[in-house]
Amino acid sequence: MSRKAPEAKAPENHERWIVSYADMVTLLWALFVVLYALSDSNPRKLLIVQQSIDRAFNVGVLNGSSGASPIFDAGGGLTPSIGQIKANDLQTIQKKLNEFSKSRGLENKIQIRQDADSITISLADNLLFTSGEADLRAGAQDVLEQVAEVLNQLPNQLRIEGHTDNVPVNNNEFATNWELSAARASTVVRFLSEGAGVPAARLYLAGYADTRPVADNATPEGRALNRRADIVIMYPTAEDLQRSLSGSKGK
């Protein structure tokens, strides 16, 4: 009876080190990406890096049990959330502009409020403009320069809005409140850019006429509140961060 010849022994694989080497290179790459991100003091950019890393390592390398990154998030983290950034900015803006208002006797002429994705500095129209006009009145430059000093400490995009009450404009320069509100917003944009050093690339404007009241137009007090120029400091939303990560642009 013939015996089956033994199978030839498989040659030893001398390239197994490549797997370990590739793992080490990948980990080093991730380490240097994190180090590079931490070298950037802009917390808004760090938030984008956080989102990217957390999505890449969704098995728990960076994520806590709650889904938040313990490396980046607040509570011992290295950068605050957008909400915390906005809260800190709001506190700074309120302190500086309230001090300015009190020193100039302008209480209730400068109001500050926050929304989900913005902080708004609201300037009464008679603080900046004469009734029915879009040219800055005497003293308005001082107010806008003080506001610009605050804005120049922030990197945010700024929307300058013009608002009116529902009383039709009554002069030959502006046909309707639409033109008046847009002209006033344009005047503020131009001063901030050309006279106060706010980068033009951060500014855009909108004229809303009487379509966005903050008070009842049925009373003189309400109409006075509705006649205003708003400087809206914009903050990124979760959708903005997702678009940044995916590289897509909003339509």
pLDDT tens for each residue of 140-190: 999 999 999 999 999 999 999 999 999 999 889 999 999 999 999 999 999
CA 191 to chain centre: 21
Q: What is the mean pLDDT of the chain?
A: 81
Tens of pLDDT, residue by residue over 95-121, are 999 999 999 998 889 999 998 889 999
Coil vs helix vs strand at 51: helix
pLDDT of residue 33: 75
Contact 77, 127 (CB under 8 A): no
Look-up of token digits 């180090």? 35
- What structural domains and CATH numbers belong to the chain? 17-80 (no CATH), 82-238 (3.30.1330.60)
Whether 81 has a pLDDT exceeding 80, the answer reads no
The structure tokens 């800055």 sit at: 136
Q: How far is CA 219 from the centre of its chain?
A: 34
Residues 71, 62: contact at Cβ < 8 Å? yes
Global confidence as pTM? 0.67
Name the least confident of 19-23, 183-187, 223-227. 19-23
β-bridge mates for residue 115, sequence order: 118
In this structure, the number of other CB atoms found within 10 A of the CB of residue 66 comes to: 8
DSSP string covering 94-141, please?
Answer: HHHHHHHHHHHT-TTTEEEEEETTEEEEEEEHHHHB-TT--SBPTTHH
193 in helix, strand or coil?
A: helix
